Amino acid sequence: MGKEWTAVPLTIARYRVPAQIVEASVCALRDGSAGTREWVILWQGRILDETTAEVTRVHVPRQNTGPLHFNISIDERLRLLDDVSAEGEFILAQLHTHPRQAFHSEVDDRLAIPKHTGAISIVVADFGVRWNGDFLATSVNRHLGAGRWHELRPDEVRELLEVIP
Ligand SMILES: [Zn+2]
């Protein structure tokens, strides 16, 4: 057993994402959105060391969604948090679809589910219909703290998200 982490360290600079998690995310977003509504999924993961985290699981929360929004009830958020913390892991990232362009809206800034500094929020265009799992085709955003988010440049995306076999 490694060190037990009580929070996601601010120093995480790399997320290892197993290819099968990427694939599951592509399918969950495309199927959930069904070409007509926004859809959100969450990545659970564990901290490997001060600079590296690894995604271990995709969660598809119960959600109310429409063409321009998604909402997860407080009860569902708490249930998820309980499940994830019981395993000594964290919600590292959220991924959601937009009808057209991928960008982090003001609502996304305010209502992102992972809220820790460094949290990742990925937005997928076109209800995920065309997304093949290439993160360079998405909007990858990182929480700088205090509700401020930064959209990563392609070179930053490549540094941050490492797809592993
Ligand atoms: Zn959004």
Decide: 38 and 96 in contact? Cβ < 8 Å: yes
Quick: pLDDT tens for 78-96. Answer: 999 999 999 999 999 999 9
pLDDT at 2: 63
**Does pTM surpass 0.95?**
yes
Q: What is the mean pLDDT of residues 106-132?
A: 96
- Rounded CA-CA distance 103/94 in Å is 13
DSSP character at residue 111: H
**CA 97–ligand 1 middle distance (angstroms):** 7
Quick check: 1 pLDDT over 60?
A: no
Q: CATH classification of 14-164 is 3.40.30.10, yes or no?
A: no
- The pair phi, psi for residue 13, each rounded to 5°, is -120, -5
**CA 106–ligand 1 middle distance (angstroms):** 8
Indicate the average pLDDT of the chain. 96
Q: Domain locations in the chain?
A: 14-164
**CA 95–ligand 1 middle distance (angstroms):** 9
